[in-house]
């Protein structure tokens, strides 16, 4: 009964997190192996309890231990299935998995729409943990914005304003990216 209640709680949690994805797609795409693991473990525990009960009842009814042994083997197979699924979901996070291409395209379009960016040479994402993504970028700045600020000035002022202007543009760009995509926690930025 306790396992059934825990399964229902886990099911509700996964169902609210998966959105419009199917359950299998959620297992393949999710970057939260904990909720998947809890759901599968509780589901297998519930099935295991029923299999054990059925195996014991059949063993008692037929006066043989074969149904109980078969139920035990089936429970072991289910636990093996769980181990394979958990290895798959956790393994994806250990091998520097990136965001789905649709998410990367959305990030690319957002960054290209920023005034400070001319082009993106490289854009890479890496899932670090649930709701934590690292974004690595190589961009070409829109130099005309900085040129406006430094025209008609001495060389030392031009250098100071250039460095300060680039720094401010980078800080503002990082803020805009993280406000639009809150799961991006780390940004590595190179300017070409």
The one-character DSSP state at 1 is -
pLDDT score at 53: 94
Q: Are 187 and 135 in contact (CB under 8 A)?
A: yes
pLDDT score at 146: 66
- Average pLDDT, consecutive stretches of 10 residues, N- to C-terminus, the chain (192 residues): 84 85 80 82 92 94 94 95 86 76 91 90 86 89 72 65 79 91 89 79
CATH fit for domain 101-191, picks 3.30.70.1560, 3.30.70.1350, 3.40.50.720, 3.40.50.2000: 3.30.70.1350
């Amino acid at each position: 009964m306790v396992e059934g209640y825990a399964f229902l709680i886990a099911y509700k949690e996964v169902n609210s997190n998966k959105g419009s994805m199917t359950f299998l797609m959620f297992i393949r795409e999710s970057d939260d192996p904990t909720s998947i693991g809890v759901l599968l473990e509780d589901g297998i525990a519930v099935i295991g309890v029923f299999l054990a009960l059925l195996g014991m009842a059949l063993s008692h009814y037929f006066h043989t231990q074969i149904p109980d042994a078969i139920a035990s083997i089936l429970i072991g197979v289910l636990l093996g299935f769980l181990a394979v699924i958990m290895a798959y979901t956790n393994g994806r996070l250990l091998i520097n998995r990136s965001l789905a291409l649709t998410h990367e395209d959305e990030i690319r379009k957002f960054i290209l729409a920023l005034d400070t960016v001319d082009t993106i040479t490289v854009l890479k994402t890496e899932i670090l943990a649930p709701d934590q993504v690292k974004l690595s970028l190589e961009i070409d700045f829109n130099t005309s914005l900085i040129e406006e600020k430094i025209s008609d000035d001495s060389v030392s002022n031009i250098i100071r304003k250039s460095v300060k202007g680039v720094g401010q543009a980078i800080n503002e760009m990082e803020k805009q990216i993280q406000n639009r995509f809150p799961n991006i926690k780390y940004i590595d930025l190179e300017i070409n």
